[in-house]
Structure 1
Amino acid sequence: MGLLRAGAALSVLLLAAGVVLRQPQEPKEVWGYVDVRSQAHMFWWLYYANNPTKDFTELPLVLWLQGGPGASGCGYGNFEEIGPLDKEMKPRNTTWLQAASILFVDNPVGTGFSYVDDCSLFAQNLTAVVSDMMVFLGEFFKCRTEFQTIPFYIFSESYGGKMAAGVALELHNAVQKGTIKCNFMGAALGDSWISPLDSVLSWGPYLYSTSLLDDNGLAEVTAVAKEIMDAINKNQYGLATELWGKAESVIEENTDNVNFYNILTKEVPEVKSDEQENLHLMRLYQRHVRKMHQSSLDELMNGPIRKKLMIIPDCVKWGGQSRQVFENMAEDFMKPVIDIVDQLLAANISVTVYNGQLDLIVDTMGQEAWIRKLKWPDLEQFSKKRWKALYVSPESTETAAFHKAYENFAFFWILKAGHMVPADQGEMALKMLRMVTQQQH
């Protein structure tokens, strides 16, 4: 198990009136593989923070975990959301590198440029995902000692939030035991699949309240949501995943194909007629992973980026194993992890929940529902607090979000954003990052 390193682009230093300024254009970056198990290879990509007045040692380190499972953080999160360049290779004005170093990782193994040599090695549950990530983080902090004392946060999106909760708890325990040396400060769960059932049960009411379902449609969605609830109550999680796919089809039929990631954007899923085997899983994969591997990003990652990285094996295609990653996690997919969030709060770890107003797949109503189920002793005090309006700048008069926090728990309601908050509302996402990492109030 070891870190392979390649490629580093260093910021230009300018001398102006005796003051060293860093030109925020080309951040220093390194990347490599960690063998998290024998024949299981995890790809990572680190960008050092790129701020004109602060060294990277004065800013936090953020680990970004993408969703799916099977969507690539090194691809999608990097080039579509928070990295220094967009997929046209143009600088991103709202890159998080202004406020943090970013560590992207393609997990679970098989995602993005990560790969397994044997199909039996795909992760099949959260425990396996967390175990692999702990091996990776152990190697990372051992090799990159400059980050051992820098405040470290895990930010996540979608299924990545479920993984983030599990990783955060295990990392906290490892730091307490002294087996990993890092300054772990907290986790941020963005549009996160923490309680699949609470999300599903809120789909009907949310769509109805936004005029995307009529009474008949609401009745149909409610009926299939009850089927999912019954399956989960009987611990039939594989069946619940199948029914989840059925529920999405019912919604599409009743809403003229609403986009699950942003209800104001139209998108029609494609399923090839020859894919009859595991049809429900194929549909789910097409909706929730394949959309993050669209042709332009696919061409970028398998073309120029692959050439730049120089360490991707010839046999590995970016995203080539992502469907298997998703299908291997199907049994685990609908399991809730509210109890893990409770354990994080009990351990006094900072937990932030943020959600996009226009997201359907993990709508805000569903997030609020599972939060009400927390056993956290301070929940009542948190609930009583009034939220505060947030603006992207002091000059702005448009409400960008609402925010509420108590002790070690915070919630951001991000307006005009769908499932991918940084892609839809980049300025507000950057402001949120600064607030969570205590650089701004």
Structure 2
Amino acid sequence: MNLQARLLFLLAYCSATSWALIPHINPFKLQEVEYHGDDVGEPLILTPLLEQGRIKDARIAASVSLSGCAKDITSYAGYFTINKQYNSNLYFWFFPSTSDYKKDPVVLWLQGGPGGPSMYGLLMENGPFTVNKDLELELRNNSWTNSHSVIYIDSPVGTGFSFTENEKGYARNQSQVGSELYEALQQFFQLFPEIRKNDFFVTGESYAGKYVPALAYTIHKNNPDAQEKINLKGIAIGDGYIDPEHQVGYAEYLYQLGLVDKMSSNVIKYLEDKAATYISRGDYIKSKEVTDEAFNIIMEKTKVNIYNYLQQGNSVIGEDLMKEFLNKHIVRRAIHVGRTTFGSNKVYHYLSEDIPRSIAPWFVEVANNYRVLLYTGQLDIIVAYPLTLNFLKHVEFRDIQKYHKAQRKIWYVGRELAGYSKNAGNFTEVLVRNAGHMVPFDQPKWAENLITRFTRNKPF
């Protein structure tokens, strides 16, 4: 079959395939969740108190008081204004370490999306409690707060409870995302100055594969001249979408798994090559459209969950429970969000053109100066393990050549085979067994061990 005939065949195949159009490959539903219940007060904006030097008052105001199993868990929540012109505010919920608060590392957790709320990570992945089917809290045994102080920030503006009053307040690129998070962190460490000198790590998963390097790079560039420095030690990214051009290789992967036949694999490969061509031309909108088309075919032809291929459908487990819990009257009042609408599809809309763009140069700069952990769930499709390895073949940083030559090691947690790791200098890469896109959700015990080893600089 010559090239022209092949293209005609592929186009006819695509036209004949019936699938429900998927507007994006985001794991989260981005519809707004409004509140219409009883009075829950106003959103707690802490910035004015910080500007007046009223740190103690701000701490008291931000204190969270929950009932049930969470009544003895110390936490603080509220808003930092990061752009007064547009009244843009980032929402945070902070949990001090339950072990050694004054010495333990401080970890920032960022969800992906774009538009995925970090409240999901808190309630469904690695926070001190989770939400059950009765919309009540249950303590989590393997919380990252057992030995870290953890900050959850809904970022960028418009994500989760974070909000802006102007369309111009929504982020359009990673430079803006990094700068706004940096401003929020400066205010956070004003509020909690006693842990400013603790080791600090930026972590996250999925599309936060861009947010994490963006913030770390911003800290790195600002620290030399900053009056108050942030003690950045490293970054950890789970199933991270960092360099789209080199992380689109689903055709062969799905074929080798037996999830698609050769015909479907050829169609997906054709679309992947087309998307890569658009990226090389700088036509990011076209690239995104073609990539979405490829995912429509993948989901139609496999019927598996692209975030964990052992599951069906594509819903994120626990997302609806999280939203219902956070919309309860007593919860909204306790965590100081007032009537703020939860979530917005505008975050995704304004970052659409950013999705196919690479942040690899910033990742390289960070990897040359700090510790880096990349971990991937074995059962993920959306940012599958081979795609992360392909990304690593196309970047150059201080330890990468040593990494390529390093011996892979088996990682145990107790007697449990948790996965496989490779380390070279300040760089560590890990495959987590029996986990999908959200590693801490699928394997909370192993994920806690993973982050603790990394922040303490212990070998796997």
Question: Does the pair score TM above 0.5?
Answer: yes
Calculate the TM-score normalised by the size of structure 2. 0.82
SS at match of 1:359: coil
* 1:68 alignment partner, one of 84, 108, 113: 113
Rounded to whole Å, the distance in 1 between the matches of 2:162 and 2:64 is 22
1:213 aligns with 2:271: no
Distance 1:439-1:28 versus aligned 2 partners, 3 A rule: farther
Cα deviation, residue 175, structure 1 = 2.0
Q: Which residue of 2 aligns with 1:317?
A: 341
Higher relative contact order (CA 8 A, sep 6+): 2
CA RMSD of aligned residues (A): 2.0
Q: Which residue of 2 aligns with 1:8?
A: 63
Cα deviation, residue 36, structure 1 = 0.5
Asked whether the equivalents of residues 372 and 426 of structure 2 are also in contact (C-alpha less than 8 Å), the reply is yes
Deviations for 1:302-343, whole angstroms, at most 9, x for unmatched residues?
11421322x3232x1222x2x111111001011011111111
Q: Which residue of 1 aligns with 2:17?
A: none
Cα deviation, residue 292, structure 1 = 7.4
Q: Which residue of 1 aligns with 2:54?
A: none
Q: Which residue of 2 aligns with 1:302?
A: 327
Cα deviation, residue 135, structure 1 = 1.0
1:244 aligns with 2:291: yes
* 1:106 alignment partner, one of 154, 174, 180: 154
Q: Which residue of 1 aligns with 2:217?
A: 169
Asked whether the equivalents of residues 9 and 26 of structure 1 are also in contact (C-alpha less than 8 Å), the reply is no
Unaligned runs of 5+ in 2: 1-46, 51-57
* 2:304 alignment partner, one of 243, 249, 258: 258
SS at match of 1:241: helix
Which one is further off, 173-182 or 117-126? 173-182
Amino acid at match of 1:324: K
1:124 aligns with 2:148: no
* 1:193 alignment partner, one of 238, 241, 259: 241
* 1:341 alignment partner, one of 359, 363, 367: 363
1:84 aligns with 2:102: no
Asked whether the equivalents of residues 24 and 50 of structure 1 are also in contact (C-alpha less than 8 Å), the reply is no
- Aligned-pair identity in percent equals 28
Unaligned runs of 5+ in 1: 11-22, 270-290
Which one is further off, 164-173 or 377-386? 377-386
* 1:425 alignment partner, one of 443, 452, 457: 443
Rounded to whole Å, the distance in 1 between the matches of 2:76 and 2:64 is 8
Calculate the TM-score normalised by the size of structure 1. 0.85
Q: Which residue of 2 aligns with 1:375?
A: 396
Rounded to whole Å, the distance in 2 between the matches of 1:248 and 1:215 is 16
Deviations for 1:178-228, whole angstroms, at most 9, x for unmatched residues?
34422211111111110122222x211211111101111111110111111
Amino acid at match of 2:389: E
SS at match of 2:338: coil
1:37 aligns with 2:92: no
Deviations for 1:47-70, whole angstroms, at most 9, x for unmatched residues?
00113xxx2112111000100011
Amino acid at match of 1:246: E
Cα deviation, residue 268, structure 1 = 5.1
Q: Which residue of 1 aligns with 2:3?
A: none
Distance 1:378-1:120 versus aligned 2 partners, 3 A rule: closer
Rounded to whole Å, the distance in 1 between the matches of 2:453 and 2:405 is 21
Amino acid at match of 2:443: Q
Rounded to whole Å, the distance in 2 between the matches of 1:299 and 1:293 is 10
